[in-house]
């Protein structure tokens, strides 16, 4: 029988369960550090660059390009290491947090390194990056105002194990806002449910939604936005999209408006517009002599957005996928029986799409806007555009497309809107080269 507890397996024979000693290398996109053992590349969780650790292989085997592993023992610790505050954060446990073992300032430095590396590698941009805390954050805990808890076969609510469907019952989640934990959901009995969504809105009591429930069946909640550029209460579906950090929405709105400097009378385009936060801020800036065209695909979000922007009738919503509204070929894929085929796109742009725009906001999903959408945006010849990115690699790819088409990266701000995790939000401002 092979002894999986000793570091004897050669690099080309490593498999799940084997343990080896490695030195943690650079941080990688996704919350891992890169390590090597006898030529094999390992993506290691729960380590810090420079540490010597014993790792256990969790995925992969002979012939794979890389292996995944957990640091199960720290042999030489980094001075940036701390005891994880959450008992469910560690090797083989909850997959929600990546960096609870790292001091908060170092977490932000690691995230900045990832953004810098992605921009350099994918866009050829060498840019110093600082990840800023989001206002209201003290210790990186109790910030998440929207949390989905999985439910196991016994009806206990909890979190999923990293890269697994297994549910770990928990009695607390330290990054969840206190009102969420205070609902008693984690002590409830949820037999027959798939998951439980809990929302702690800015206004009113927490809302508990049993899943599966579509957005049409979920209640509305009110979020209070108090940014310098926009002060307004916004109604949003409890299962719709809203920033989960209580200070994030206002921070991003001000970063976008400060970067674009929209002027009275200008025409603005808000892509992937959601419930109208950026559209509303743009409308305040350009005034009733201006125009804002917002594009969003989600039916429920559009219906709610039209109510949210009623007081600024110079905002016009177009419902549809952004690529289809532009009349360009989709880069998405079809799920289900036709999986793998490209979605069909209209042959011409939507009739409500303006022929030009002064400024554009793009807030795409994690996959990014993509080459075809970037080309369509550039064809409108905006003087500036703001790109709100939740994925550094997608931002870097689209940065490369924009630079190829004459738009230079001006300012770049990165925000720690998801402490204890590897996620980072960026607001990049691009300007047309003179």
Is the CB of residue 235 less than 8 Å from the CB of residue 221?
yes
DSSP class per residue in 145-175 = SEEEEEE-TTS-EEEEBTTSS-EEE-S--TT
User: Which of 291, 314, 306, 277 has the alpha carbon at shortest distance from 380?
Assistant: 291
Query: Which residues is 22 bridged to in the sheet?
Result: 53
Examine the residue annotation and report whether 390 is marked as an active-site residue of this protein: yes
Angle 426-314-241 from CA coordinates, rounded to 5°: 40
Is the CB of residue 98 less than 8 Å from the CB of residue 45?
yes
Query: Measured between alpha carbons, how far is 314 from 137 in angstroms, rounded to an integer?
Result: 35
Which helix (H) or strand (E) segment is 44 a member of?
A: strand 40-45
Is the CB of residue 48 less than 8 Å from the CB of residue 80?
yes
Which helix (H) or strand (E) segment is 19 a member of?
A: strand 19-23
Give every CB contact of residue 124 below 8 A, 6+ residues apart in sequence. Answer: 400, 403
Query: What does the radius of gyration of the chain's CA atoms come to, in whole angstroms?
Result: 23
Which residue among 86, 173, 268, 390 is the active-site one? Answer: 390
Residue 1: count other Cβ atoms within 10 Å of its Cβ.
3
Give every CB contact of residue 317 below 8 A, 6+ residues apart in sequence. Answer: 273, 276, 279, 294, 295, 296, 302, 305, 306, 309
Q: Which two tokens stand for residue 67?
A: 């292996």
User: Which of 416, 408, 368 has the alpha carbon at shortest distance from 388?
Assistant: 368
Is the CB of residue 97 less than 8 Å from the CB of residue 44?
no
Query: Measured between alpha carbons, how far is 177 from 181 in angstroms, rounded to an integer?
Result: 7
Whole-angstrom CA distances from 331 to 242, 341, 361, 410 are 25, 10, 20, 27
Beta-strand ranges (E) seen in 144-264 are: 146-151, 157-160, 167-169, 195-199, 207-211, 220-226, 231-237
Catalytic residue positions?
A: 390
């Amino acid at each position: 029988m092979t002894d999986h507890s000793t570091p004897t397996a050669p690099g080309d024979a490593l498999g799940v369960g084997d343990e080896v000693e490695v030195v943690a290398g650079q941080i990688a996109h996704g919350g891992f550090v890169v390590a090597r053992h006898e030529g094999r590349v390992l993506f290691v969780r729960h380590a810090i660059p420079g540490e010597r650790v014993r790792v256990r292989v969790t995925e992969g085997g002979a012939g794979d390009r890389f292996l995944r592993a957990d640091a199960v023992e720290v042999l030489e610790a980094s001075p940036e290491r701390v005891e994880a505050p959450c008992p469910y954060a560690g090797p083989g446990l909850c997959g929600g947090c990546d960096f609870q073992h790292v001091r908060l300032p170092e977490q932000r430095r690691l995230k900045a390194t990832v953004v810098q590396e992605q921009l350099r590698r994918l866009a050829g941009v060498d840019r110093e990056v600082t990840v800023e805390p989001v206002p209201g954050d003290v210790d990186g805990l109790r910030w998440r105002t929207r949390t989905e808890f999985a439910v196991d076969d016994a009806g206990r609510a909890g979190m999923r194990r990293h890269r697994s469907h297994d549910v770990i019952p928990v009695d607390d989640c330290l990054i969840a806002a206190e009102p969420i934990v205070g609902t008693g959901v984690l002590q409830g009995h949820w037999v027959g449910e798939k998951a439980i969504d809990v929302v702690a809105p800015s206004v009113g009591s927490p809302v508990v939604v049993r899943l599966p429930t579509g957005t049409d069946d979920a209640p509305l909640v009110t979020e209070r936005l108090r940014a310098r550029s926009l002060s307004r209460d916004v109604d949003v579906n409890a299962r719709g999209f809203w920033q989960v950090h209580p200070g994030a929405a206002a921070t991003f709105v001000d970063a976008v408006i400060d970067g674009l400097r929209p002027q009275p009378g200008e025409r603005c385009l808000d892509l992937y517009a959601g419930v109208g936060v950026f559209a509303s801020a743009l409308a305040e800036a350009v005034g009733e002599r201006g125009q804002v065209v917002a594009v969003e695909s989600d039916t429920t979000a559009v219906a709610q957005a039209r109510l949210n922007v009623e007081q600024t009738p110079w905002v016009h919503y177009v419902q549809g996928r952004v690529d289809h509204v532009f009349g360009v070929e989709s880069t998405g894929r079809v799920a289900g029986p036709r999986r793998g085929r490209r979605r069909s796109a209209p042959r011409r742009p939507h009739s409500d799409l303006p022929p030009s725009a002064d400024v554009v906001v793009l807030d795409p999903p994690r996959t990014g806007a993509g080459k075809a959408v970037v080309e369509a945006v550039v064809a409108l010849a905006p003087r500036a555009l703001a790109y709100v990115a939740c994925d550094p690699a997608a931002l870097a790819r689209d940065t490369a497309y924009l630079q190829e088409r004459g738009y230079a990266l001006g300012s770049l701000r990165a925000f720690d809107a998801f402490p204890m995790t590897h996620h980072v939000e960026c607001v990049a401002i691009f300007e047309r080269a003179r």
